[in-house]
Structure 1
Amino acid sequence: MSQPAAPDRQQTELPGMPQRLYLASPSRLMTWLDCPRRYRMQYLDRPRPQARPQRAHTSVGLVTHNVLRDFWDLPFDARTPTGVVELVRSSWIDVGFKDADQSARWRQQVTQEITDYLRTADRLTEPLARERSVALKTPTLALSGRVDRMDEREGEAVVVDYKTSRRTPTADDARTSLALAFYAAAGAAVFRKPCVRVELHHVPTGEVIAHEHTAESIERKIAEAESIARDLRRVDTAYRDQGQQAPDFAPNPTPLCRWCDFRAHCPEGQAVGPERSSWAALEPDD
């Protein structure tokens, strides 16, 4: 005797009951804006299409974030350049590089960049939080994510987001970031402190790009997140009903398709141009 199909989460809602909150992260919301087809493959398709192997710049970013998280776990007298060298050595991810020489060169460069960045840090004052999961609920959306760092300065919480790309962020990057505004709103709720300042820390150069939000600008960003979530609730339902035949997931071909992890499954993305090598973001002249 055949077993009945498992009830769908959406279908179990009874008429007249409040609508479930839409669960999302900032990265999920922004993936939809970047490319609906990539959103479908990354978040809806099951089994999920196989993504390409990790690139070298992702390895560099992960190592940098891990070292800057773990640095504060060291005893105070070990928070030194030698301590950074050991943390990078033990955390190094040797994936995506052209060869062993390139990996070794970048390990040395990342070690120097992190050391220089931490020279300006107050080793006595630990951050308020490191890689902390935060969440925020609105009437329609449950938004969650992980903030790189939160500082406490003069009784206020400050959002710190590490950047490791070769491109230095701009003031507009800090001002328009939905994720940073969400971290500020969630941080204020979690730590019960005012939180309006958000900072992008570009580790390779040590530059700090900051923006001071207002209550109104944060509200606008949260409203933007709710608007995107309404679209996602609609297209998720369309996918459940129609699968990959749903018309909502057309690709958005751009030069970024040359870097896409799901490029192998997208003819339109392949047509944009040849795929960039796994280490191209580290060697722009390659």
Structure 2
Amino acid sequence: MPSAPPDSVAGMAPRQQDAQLDLPGMPRRLFAATPSKLATFADCPRRYRYAYVDRPAPPRGPAWAHNSVGAAVHAALRSWWELPVGRRTPGAARQLLYSHWSTAGFRDAEQADRWRARAAGWITDYVAGLDPTDEPVGTERQVAATTERLALSGRIDRIDQRGDELVIVDYKTGRAVSTDDEARGSPALAAYVLGVRRTLRRPCSRVELHHLPSGTVAAFEHTERSLANHVRRAEDVAADIGAATAARDAGEDPDVAFPAAPGRQCGWCDFRPSCPTGQAATPPRETWSFLAEDDG
């Protein structure tokens, strides 16, 4: 049996669901969203439609090497914290990286092996600077929060306790070094702060980006004002999604209701094979082209 569209009530079609939840006297239905979902629409409404509206969804393109690197590093660090304290060593982290490694998206086996060794070096150096006895409050922890219009949820790489407050840690493995401005402007990190406050009922303001390739940490201390700004922008995106969905449901051409936003990003869009606009906008990128430039 095909799965129900996102945000639908089990056993009920989306339009039936809307009709039930919009009856007079019923509370406003919150828009269920993740940071990734909102970012997808903000980047390209057409891509949002392909990912979250069309059922069945169009087939996705090939895997990307830089995503394989990031997934292996994240999985290895999660598994490292799940080990008994006495086994949390740099050598164990390296072995976990090997066990989680995937060659998907790389040009060939030689390139994949070279990047596996490189990522193993990152993670070995990173955990060498950690206190294995300093147990995180959570790893890969799901949190959620509500605003006036949104039901936000997300999964956090790691939550640390620093004194009386909780700190959000997000691992980064891209070639660009993370900056404090990136930490400040990240909608996902702001959503995580709200989620930690609501789910764990603890003070939380600080967010950190731990960039493993450079060994650097970028950080920002959120204020009520900065969080309110992020919420306002997220609710604006959700309102635009609602308007586009309503237009499509009213009979408007889906390509008009969810227009493409062509640009360089079309070269690596997962749904490029299904989007003539994106295909015409720019040539496709190689699946290993986002690896660091010093890779031959």
If the TM-score is normalised by the length of the shorter chain, which range does it land in? over 0.9
The sequence identity of aligned pairs, in percent, is: 46
Task: State the 1:61 CA deviation.
Answer: 0.8
Q: C-alpha separation between the residues in 2 aligned to 1:240 and 1:24?
A: 20
> Would you say the 8 A contact 1:157–1:188 is kept in 2?
no
After the TM superposition, which segments of 4 or more aligned residues of structure 1 sit over 6 Å from their partners?
none
The structural deviation recorded for 1:16 is: 3.5
Taking the TM superposition and a 5 Å limit, the aligned residue runs for 1:185-204 are: 185-204=194-213
Partner of residue 98 from structure 2, selected from 89, 92, 110: 89
**What is the CA-CA distance between 1:55 and the residue it aligns to?**
0.9
1:61 to 2:70 alignment: yes
1:139: Cα distance to partner? 2.5
Paired AA for residue 11 in structure 1: A
Give the paired residue count: 282
Query: Contact (CA 8 Å) 2:46, 2:255: kept in 1 or not?
Result: no
Answer whether contact 1:59 1:93 (CA < 8 A) is retained. Answer: yes
Does 1:10 pair with 2:18?
A: yes
TM-score by length of 1: 0.93
SS in 2 for 1:8: helix
- Alignment correspondent of 1:75: 84
Q: Could you say which residue in structure 2 is the equivalent of 1:127?
A: 136
The residue aligned with 1:136 is 145
Amino acid at match of 2:284: E
Return the TM-score normalized by structure 2.
Answer: 0.90
Tell me, in whole angstroms, the C-alpha distance in 2 between the residues paired with 1:75 and 1:15.
55
1:227 counterpart residue number:
236
Match of 1:105 among 79, 95, 114: 114
- Distance in 2, matches of 1:96 and 1:246, equals 30
How much has 1:54 moved relative to structure 2? 1.1
Distance, in Å, in 2 between the alignment partners of 1:59 and 1:19 is 40
Q: Decide which of 266, 272, 291 is 1:263's aligned counterpart.
A: 272
The 1-side partners of 2:64 and 2:122 are apart by 20
Residue by residue over 1:203-242, the C-alpha shift from the partner in whole angstroms, topping out at 9 and shown as x without a partner, is: 1111100011112211221222122212212212222333
**Is the alpha carbon distance of 1:89 and 1:246 closer, same or farther for their aligned partners in structure 2, counting shifts above 3 Å?**
closer
| Unmatched 5+ stretches in structure 2 | 1-11
Q: 1:82 to 1:243 in 2, by over 3 A?
A: farther
Following the alignment from structure 2 to structure 1, what is the Cα–Cα distance between the partners of residues 94 and 147?
43
Partner in structure 1 of residue 175 of structure 2: 166
Gapped runs of 5+ residues in structure 1?
none
Check whether the contact 2:152–2:195 (CA below 8 A) recurs between aligned residues.
Answer: no
Q: Distance in 2 between matches of 1:204 and 1:240?
A: 46
Residue 65 (structure 2) pairs with residue 47 (structure 1): no
Deviation at 1:250, TM superposition (A): 1.3
The Cα shift of 1:11 comes to: 2.0
